[in-house]
């Protein structure tokens, strides 16, 4: 065995080898990228994209727990952790607290310090994924389905407002949104959530309106959304939630 063959040499020279390694690499003095890179990449910096990755990971666990119908107390604790971590992300902070504009797409420390490693360059992917997870937009077997189990009712509008967007033809459009609704686009198709006593979908397709009593788009309509054909003007999703 090698150990038997070199045991005496190991005992004799191990301290010498460790000393030589330390002298060559000086690893005990190395503190990471802060030793050779810019200050905003070093120790003491806040890596917003790592927080976003954590949010996404906790969201995935929460959604799995909800899907598996785990204990309500467990799900509640997971959601509490999710939104607590969520609030720690820079995009949710004021410029005064953050030390910079939190939505500026840069990764450099401002001259007056404040935020270090701010901006959205490293976190935008995870934040987009997390947001659609909160909105409950999922694709299964080629079908778009709406299951907003993480969406909080406080996000719904308290009064009427205009929603501006760019359609699949590149034209600017507006939609007047009612109280107790919210709107976002998916593949440039407006999706309107509204609180209701019943669940269902209303697909405004060219000059027709199709109503469904479930929250799943067919493969055909999903394909039209994915391909941005322009045939679907908007999708209204009625959600049975406590209006509070």
Model pLDDT, residue 8: 85
- 165/145 Cα distance (integer angstroms): 22
Q: In this predicted structure, what is the pLDDT of residue 234?
A: 95
- What is the rounded radius of gyration, in angstroms, for the C-alpha atoms of the chain? 26
**DSSP assignment of 2-54, as one string?**
HHHHHHHHHHHHHHHHHHHHHHHH-GGG--SGGGTS-GGGSTT---HHHHHHH
DSSP letter string over 131-158?
A: HHHHHTEEEETTEEEE--TT--GGGS-S
pLDDT at position 214 is: 95
Query: pLDDT at position 3, please?
Result: 63
SS3 state at 76: helix
- For residue 66, the model assigns a pLDDT of 95
Best CA proximity match to 143, nearest among 99, 83, 201: 201
Task: Kindly give the parts of the chain with pLDDT less than 70.
Answer: 1-3, 27-48, 90, 100, 104-122, 242-244
Q: Helix or strand or coil: residue 129? A: helix
As a whole number of angstroms, the distance between CA 200 and CA 152 comes to 19
Task: Report pLDDT for 50.
Answer: 78
Nearest to 169 by CA among 78, 231, 122: 231
What are the C-alpha distances in Å from 55 to residues 65, 152, 170, 192? Answer: 15, 16, 33, 25
């Amino acid at each position: 065995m090698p150990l038997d063959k070199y045991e005496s040499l190991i005992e004799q020279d191990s301290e010498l080898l460790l000393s030589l390694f330390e002298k060559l690499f000086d690893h005990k003095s190395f503190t990471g990228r802060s030793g050779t890179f810019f200050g905003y990449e070093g120790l003491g910096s806040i890596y917003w994209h790592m927080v976003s990755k954590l949010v996404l990971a906790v969201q995935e666990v929460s959604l799995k727990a909800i899907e598996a119908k785990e204990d309500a107390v467990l799900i509640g604790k997971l959601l509490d952790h999710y939104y607590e971590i969520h609030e720690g992300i820079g995009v949710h902070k004021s410029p005064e607290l953050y030390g910079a504009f939190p939505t500026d797409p840069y990764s450099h420390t401002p001259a007056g310090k404040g935020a270090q490693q701010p901006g959205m360059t490293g976190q935008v992917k995870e934040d987009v994924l997390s947001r659609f997870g909160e909105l409950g937009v999922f694709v299964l077997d080629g079908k778009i389905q709406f299951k907003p189990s993480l969406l909080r009712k406080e996000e719904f509008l308290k009064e009427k407002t205009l929603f501006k967007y760019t359609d699949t033809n590149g034209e600017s459009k507006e939609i007047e949104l009612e109280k107790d609704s919210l709107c976002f686009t998916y593949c440039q198709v407006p999706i309107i959530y509204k609180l209701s006593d019943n669940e269902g979908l209303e697909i405004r397709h060219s000059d027709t309106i199709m109503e469904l009593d479930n929250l799943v788009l067919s493969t055909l309509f999903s394909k039209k959304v994915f391909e941005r054909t322009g045939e679907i003007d908007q999708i209204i999703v009625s959600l049975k939630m406590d209006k509070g």
